[in-house]
Amino acid sequence: MSDRPTDELERWLAAEQAEAIDEADALFAVVARRHLPLLQEPAGLAAAILSSLPRTKRSRWTLAILSVGVPRWARATVAAAVAVLGLALATLSLGQLIEFSAWSVEALARAASGAVAALAAAAGVGSAAIALLGDLGRAAMVVAGSGAAPTLIAANVVVASLAFLGLFRLLSPREEFS
């Protein structure tokens, strides 16, 4: 191979011109190998990469928890609240602490009983709704079996349309007189 860099360049260009694609590919590879070196990475890149790696799986998990998208002010507020609570608890005497604990347990019991009552009420409403839906279903089956269904549906549509129009007029803003 000649020592003149432009010789191999010229051979590649000639191959390109002759549309000898495979030859041009191989000759350009020679040109690139000699005259198009890889760009050198900045000094310290490897060190920067390695220092950015999480140390352990545990620390990765912790970082994931801490990086939850909560605004800084919210985190600061929570942190301040925890700090104030900690200080308040630290100033309590043992008797006050026991009293506070007893009060807390009582409050917790009350909250639990309230939650149970709410759940029971919700269950009652749910069962009543299911019973009502069942009745409606049975009524629908009776109506469908009687042959009067189309008439009833048409009547319902008319009533609903009238109700809609009435409500629309009632609720629409009044026109200003000029």
Partner 1 sequence: MTDAQLVERALAGSQDAFAALVARHQRSVYNLLARMLRNPALAEELAQESFLKAYTHLRRFNPEYKFANWVLRIAHNAAIDVLRQRGLRMVSMDDPDTAEQRPIEETVVDPRSDEAERRLERRDLSQVLGAALDELRPEYRRAVVLRYQQDLGYEEISAITGDPVGTVKSHLHRARVEMAVFLKKRGFVQPGADGTRRNG
Dihedral sign from CA coordinates of 62, 66, 69, 74? positive
**Cα gap 52→44, rounded to integer Å:** 12
**Cα gap 101→75, rounded to integer Å:** 27
The answer to the question of residue 98 lying near partner 1 (CB under 8 A) is no
Dihedral sign from CA coordinates of 70, 73, 76, 78? negative
**Cα gap 12→28, rounded to integer Å:** 6
Of 17 and 172, which CB lies nearer to partner 1 in the complex structure? Answer: 17
Contact flags string 49-88 toward partner 1, x per CB under 8 A: xx-xxx-----x----------------------------
Contact flags string 127-156 toward partner 1, x per CB under 8 A: ------------------------------
**CB-based contacts of 35: which residues, under 8 Å, 6+ apart?**
5
The answer to the question of residue 23 lying near partner 1 (CB under 8 A) is no
Of 64 and 82, which CB lies nearer to partner 1 in the complex structure? Answer: 64
The two three-digit tokens of residue 96, written as one number: 């006050």
How far from the centroid of its chain's Cα atoms is residue 110's Cα? 34
The answer to the question of residue 37 lying near partner 1 (CB under 8 A) is yes
Of 39 and 87, which CB lies nearer to partner 1 in the complex structure? Answer: 39
End-to-end CA distance of the chain: 98
* Binding segment toward partner 1, per CB under 8 A, in 6-14, 77-85, 97-105, 106-114: 6-14
Q: Which of 1, 20, 23, 24 touches partner 1 (CB under 8 A)?
A: 24
Q: What is the contact surface with partner 1 in residues (CB under 8 A)?
A: 3-6, 9-10, 12-14, 16-18, 21, 24-25, 28-29, 31-42, 45-46, 48-50, 52-54, 60
